[in-house]
Amino acid sequence: MKLSAFHIAKPERRGAATLLFVALSLCVAVGVWVGTYRYFTAQELQRAEARMSLYHSTVLSEVERFEHLTQVLAVDPFVISGLQGDGLATLNARLAVFASAAGLDAIYLMEPDGLTIAASNVEDAGGFVGQSYAFRPYFQTALNGETGTFYGIGATTGLPGYFIADPVRNDAGEVIGVVALKLSLAPFEQAWRDAGEQVFLTDRHDVVLLASDPMWRYRALDPLSQDERSRIETARQFPGQALEALNWSADEDARWAEINGSWRLHVVSAGLPHSWRLHYLRRNDSAVLRAWLATGAFLAISGLGLFLAQFQRSQRLGQALKRSEEEEAQLRRANAALAQEIEERRRAEQRLEETRGELERASRLAALGQLSASVTHELGQPIAAMRNQLAAHEIKHSSGKLTQTIGGLVDRMEGITRQLKFFARPRVEPFEDIDLRDCVDAALELMVPSLDALKVAVVHDKPGHPIIVRGARLRLEQVLINILRNAVDAMEEAETPTLLVSYGVGDGKVWVEVSDTGSGLGEATLAELREPFVTTRASGQGMGLGLAISSGIMDDHGGKLEARNRQGNPGAVFRMVLAERTIKEVAAQ
């Protein structure tokens, strides 16, 4: 039988492979984390840039929107005549209408010395009229004939704003005053806050002008130099503000900034007027989270792969085990079948051997039969003639010693030919139902003289019920006589010669057993002893035909003769086994 060729890796090799797989998976997981983190961070930066560009353009457009308004106002006849001292009340009203329509904090007109003579907020508590803004840089620039701009905290209102100023000229082109407007950029802060964004605007000194977080406002990204501080103070740009440095560090190339201890993605936009810069900060938590999710998914997939591989392996292992068990069972069955076949052959050989032995014995007995027939035939006449001659001699001369001796010899010769006749022509006697106990009684009766002569104690263990067999009475008696005679002969030397005759029934068989206290069979077996002419008796005392004849008779009856030594004590046991004849069978006959 061909055994399965399925191979399974050694456990330590499998363990190493699993470890390698886990180590590789972890390495790849690190790669996945880094790769996805970079990718998602780049995405976040793109989003940040998009938002930044939106905020940048809104700030820029808001600042540029009013760039030319002061130029237009500077040529307004009401403004010019106002500077010449006419119609200031009308001008105030006119400026108030403009400011309100444009959504400006204030529009106001100053004389060359900086004194405000008209303003849109003249009616308000903190109105500009009467205030001097000569110190403001935008005023000075405008007075010099150019457009001045400025971001700062209002000197009167204390509110921050973007200031734009232009010179007002007379017909001769001389600067006779300055018209300015103040625009509040505070709504941006609110809009950024509403959008949940972190945005702030810094000026050229990196001072925060506007911020979504009010705490950052008027803080410097880097500590201000003394020079910068004095310039700011002169312009009264941020009155009352310490302008302390913000807890801030930024790596603009790497687009990271740390503010108050938290790292944020950082996008800066330049291109605004006055070197203003807009800063946009964005948390990167979602990129980190998504990177972890992707890594987790990868680990879950590789874990699942490992689990599936292990599961498949265990399945294959189970199948291989099952196959090998089946093969083993097949092998066992084949072995058992082989063993049975061997046993059958052995039995067949034994039967063959027995049959061959029987055949040989049968052919020997047949040859003996032919020989016996011719011997008994040839000797029959001379023995009969001798007996006649002896009888005639006795009649004439009465019986003398010689005739007695010769008569004894003739008797023995007749005995021999009588035994030989069993082989020569087996008597055909009809079978009948016989009680074995009667046969034993008859045989013992015939043996009485020999038993008495040797003082043999006979124990006949005779059952109270008949032991019926079917057979020829005389021939079965013949067997019993042979057995009894052999037993007596074997006990010639015994101190207390004893014969025990017993019976048995079982398995559809009956038997009668003769046990003696004689010499026993020694090493000889019945098969050897029942061979014709096998004898241990002295010449002339036995021909070695008794057991041969007895075995033949038992065979004819479908029974058998068995012999063994007595256990423990000297002596032999001979057993005649025959088929049981039940009472029912007898009655049905």
Residues 177 to 196: which contact ligand ADP by CB under 6 A?
none
Stretch that binds ligand ADP, among 8-16, 23-31, 326-334, 484-492 (CB under 6 A): 484-492
Sole binder of ligand ADP in the list 48, 490, 510, 577 (CB under 6 A): 490
> Amino acid letter at 191?
A
Residue 379 found at the interface with ligand ADP (CB under 6 A): no
Q: How far apart (Å, rounded) are the C-alpha atoms in residues 209 and 202?
A: 5
**Of 95-103, 216-224, 331-339, 481-489, which segment contacts ligand ADP by CB under 6 A?**
481-489
Of the pair 468, 572, the CB lying nearest ligand ADP is at 572
**Unique residue bearing structure tokens 């990177």:** 291
Tokens 């090493």 sit at which residue? 523
| Ramachandran class of 385: left when φ > 0, alpha when ψ lies in -120 to 50, beta otherwise | alpha
Which residues fall within 8 angstroms of residue 196, CB to CB, at 6 or more apart?
A: none
Residue 437, helix vs strand vs coil: helix
Number of residues that bind ligand ADP (CB under 6 A): 22
Q: 547 or 554: whose CB is closer to ligand ADP?
A: 547
Adjacent-strand bridge partners of 265:
256, 282
**209 or 514: CB nearest ligand ADP:** 514
Nearest to 277 by CA among 216, 231, 208, 345: 208
Size of the chain, expressed as the number of residues it contains: 589
Per CB under 6 A, does 365 bind ligand ADP? Answer: no
Q: What are phi and psi of 184, to 5 degrees?
A: -90, 130
Closer residue to ligand ADP (CB): 122 or 514: 514
Q: Which is nearer to ligand ADP, 142 or 521 (CB)?
A: 521
Q: 517 to 556, contacts with ligand ADP by CB under 6 A?
A: 518-521, 529, 534-537, 542-548
Interface positions, 552-581, toward ligand ADP (CB under 6 A):
572
Determine which residue in the list 149, 486, 515, 517 makes contact with ligand ADP, applying CB under 6 A.
Answer: 486
Q: Which is nearer to ligand ADP, 121 or 551 (CB)?
A: 551
CA distance 367 to 353: 21
DSSP letter at 213 equals S
Helices (H), 210-284: 226-234
Q: Which is nearer to ligand ADP, 95 or 572 (CB)?
A: 572
Among the listed residues 482, 512, 517, 552, the single contact to ligand ADP using CB under 6 A: 482
Closest CA to 52 of 197, 182, 184: 197
Question: C-beta of 409: minimal distance to ligand ADP in Å?
Answer: 18
Are 479 and 561 within 8 A, CB to CB? yes
Question: Which two three-digit tokens encode residue 509?
Answer: 């068989």
Task: Please write down the HEC assignment for all residues of 285-344.
Answer: HHHHHHHHHHHHHHHHHHHHHHHHHHHHHHHHHHHHHHHHHHHHHHHHHHHHHHHHHHHH
Smallest distance, ligand ADP to C-beta of residue 492, A: 10
Q: Which is nearer to ligand ADP, 294 or 548 (CB)?
A: 548
- Residue closer to ligand ADP, measured from CB, 476 or 521: 521
The minimum distance between CB 549 and ligand ADP, in angstroms, equals: 8
Of 98, 90, 94, nearest in space to 66 by CA: 98
116 binds ligand ADP per the rule CB under 6 A: no
Of 324 and 498, CB closest to ligand ADP: 498
Smallest distance from ligand ADP to CB 527, Å: 12
Q: How far is the CB of 528 from ligand ADP (least distance, A)?
A: 9
User: Based on CB atoms, which residue is closest to ligand ADP, 132 or 535?
Assistant: 535
Nearer to ligand ADP, 395 or 538 (CB): 538
Residue 487 Cβ, how far from ligand ADP at the closest point, in Å? 4
Backbone φ, ψ for residue 536 (5° rounding): -110, 5
CB of 442 to ligand ADP, least distance (A): 19
Least distance in angstroms from the C-beta of 516 to ligand ADP: 5
Q: Does 487 bind ligand ADP (CB under 6 A)?
A: yes
Which residue in the block uniquely carries the two structure tokens 């067997």?
479
By CB under 6 A, is residue 516 in contact with ligand ADP? yes
Give min distance, CB of 563 to ligand ADP, in A: 7
- CA–CA separation, 55 vs 425, rounded Å? 143
Q: Give the separation between CA 386 and CA 115, rounded to whole angstroms.
A: 199
Q: How many Å apart are CA 360 and CA 350, to the nearest integer? A: 15
CB of 572 to ligand ADP, least distance (A): 4
| 462 closest CA partner among 500, 510, 503, 514 | 503
Query: Residue 544 Cβ, how far from ligand ADP at the closest point, in Å?
Result: 4
- In degrees and rounded to multiples of 5, residue 175 shows phi and psi of -75, 120
Q: Would you call 480 helix, strand, or coil by DSSP? A: helix
Residues near ligand ADP, by CB under 6 A: 482, 486-487, 490, 516, 518-521, 529, 534-537, 542-548, 572
